[in-house]
Chains A and B, each alone.
Chain A
């Protein structure tokens, strides 16, 4: 345990990286996932097909393989970024497909009367979606989105194999330095992840209550 206390700044820096990965790829996948969801429900067939194709391909590919694509594949196309950026790309590509499906189910859950009313007063597709459907859809999907973001937090740990110094790679590195501290290190890291996911679900359930509308 002494070793863990001694190395606390290193461990905390690792979790700071985990938080950064989670927040950045979380925001990006929320944006991209919503775009994909809109593509999947829009009246233009090619965009619908493209959205469906993307989701089918990405959802059935292991995240580790997406990481291989971005970290080792992109440099072969002479696209060079830092390892952190590659990790964010991989996590965003993967998580967007899940966000897309969640948002789409939210769109489908909006009451039929709302959509019919919006169309009856003459709103075109863009406004029906933007002014009427999406605001309600997002409120409805906060709980499933929370699960997606918790999964994202846990998924950042895959970056351990792709040269990103997040919490799990710090664990791996420190364990290499002092194998006798294996269990304290494992348990500390586990506690860190539990704190992060609890914080996430706590803040999202607060958000849910704040934006709730009496219906």
Chain B
């Protein structure tokens, strides 16, 4: 924030802020207190609920779940980047039909709930005699949705490459395909790298939808634990912590990449590109 919404406090408002802080802290403590009281009153802190997480069997279930989550997210990421590049290049094509077709595909997949896309693969494909299982359905859903989102990110990136680059490439005799492949895409991917990493957070979170089609990813493995032991809340807290730590690490990487790029831009004295992170 560049502008303070309030003046630098004088002695009186310093006192007021202090009183406000005390009151605010009191209210927050009360909220935390009520939550902890509910938790302990219903016996959520009992050791039979938490002790299982020290057992190697339970830990192995969680680790295997985490592996399945990362596998689904990783495969979907690679495929989504490929699809996103194809659609982005399609939308910037000089052939009108290709441009419009890519536009329709992008808008269609972005407008649908991811659950529905997963169901298209999970319920629809078997009707055509193609059985891809829960993993395949999840990966297809994630790929279609994130591919379309990435397509828009790449398109913005390609449009942000200075025109001189394209002109220079043509003037040394490169063809259109080579200009896209060698000049535009590498630079677009580089400028958009922070946004792509942020999208990875979305992808990782969305992979928890494997829960719905019974793909044994992290959350589903958690379900396996809490249906056995009956410790819904402790398990949910443990699983949430794992997701939060991974996503925070990814966000850190994204902002580090962004900072590094801003530094580079300052050196090259370029106009910074406006990057919007639409992570929902």
A residues apposed to B, CB below 8 Å: 41, 43-47, 50, 56-57, 59-65, 68-69, 72-73, 76-79, 98, 107-108, 112, 115-116, 119, 125, 128-129, 133, 147-148, 151, 153-158, 160-161, 168, 171-172, 175, 179-180, 182-183, 186, 189-190, 193-194, 197-198
Partner of B201, one of A60, A108, A160, A175: A60
Contact at A112–B3, with CB atoms within 8 Å? yes
Instruction: Kindly provide the distance from the CB of A32 to the nearest chain B CB, expressed in whole angstroms.
Output: 14
Contact at A157–B6, with CB atoms within 8 Å? no
Contact at B112–A190, with CB atoms within 8 Å? yes
A interface SS class: helix
A41 with B1, Cβ < 8 A, contacts A46-B25, A65-B219 known: yes
Q: Is B178 an interface residue (CB 8 A)?
A: no
Query: Interface residue count for B (Cβ, 8 Å)?
Result: 55
Contact at B5–A125, with CB atoms within 8 Å? yes
- Residues of the B chain whose Cβ atoms lie less than 8 Å from the Cβ of A41: 1, 5
Q: Is B168 an interface residue (CB 8 A)?
A: no
Partner of B113, one of A56, A57, A193: A193
- Residues of the A chain whose Cβ atoms lie less than 8 Å from the Cβ of B127: 179-180, 182-183
Contact at A151–B115, with CB atoms within 8 Å? no
Contact at A108–B124, with CB atoms within 8 Å? no
Instruction: Kindly provide the distance from the CB of B163 to the nearest chain A CB, expressed in whole angstroms.
Output: 28
Q: Is B42 an interface residue (CB 8 A)?
A: yes
Q: Is B278 an interface residue (CB 8 A)?
A: yes
Partner of B123, one of A68, A76, A125, A175: A175
Q: Is B265 an interface residue (CB 8 A)?
A: no
Contact at B115–A62, with CB atoms within 8 Å? no
Partner of A72, one of B17, B232, B239: B232
Q: Is B166 an interface residue (CB 8 A)?
A: no
Contact at B244–A194, with CB atoms within 8 Å? no
Contact at B119–A186, with CB atoms within 8 Å? yes
Which of B81-89, B153-161, B183-191, B204-212 is near enough to bind chain A?
B204-212
A-B pairs, 8 with minimum CB distance? A62-B208, A60-B247, A151-B280, A157-B113, A154-B113, A157-B115, A62-B205, A112-B3
Q: Is B33 an interface residue (CB 8 A)?
A: no
Q: Is B256 an interface residue (CB 8 A)?
A: no
Q: Is B21 an interface residue (CB 8 A)?
A: yes
- Residues of the A chain whose Cβ atoms lie less than 8 Å from the Cβ of B201: 60
Contact at B38–A77, with CB atoms within 8 Å? yes
- Residues of the B chain whose Cβ atoms lie less than 8 Å from the Cβ of A62: 205-209, 219, 243
- Residues of the B chain whose Cβ atoms lie less than 8 Å from the Cβ of A156: 113
Contact at B280–A147, with CB atoms within 8 Å? yes
A47 with B6, Cβ < 8 A, contacts A61-B240, A168-B119 known: no
B247 (CB) vs chain A CBs: closest residue:
A60
- Residues of the B chain whose Cβ atoms lie less than 8 Å from the Cβ of A157: 113-116
A168 with B243, Cβ < 8 A, contacts A41-B1, A62-B206, A72-B232 known: no
Instruction: Kindly provide the distance from the CB of A81 to the nearest chain B CB, expressed in whole angstroms.
Output: 15
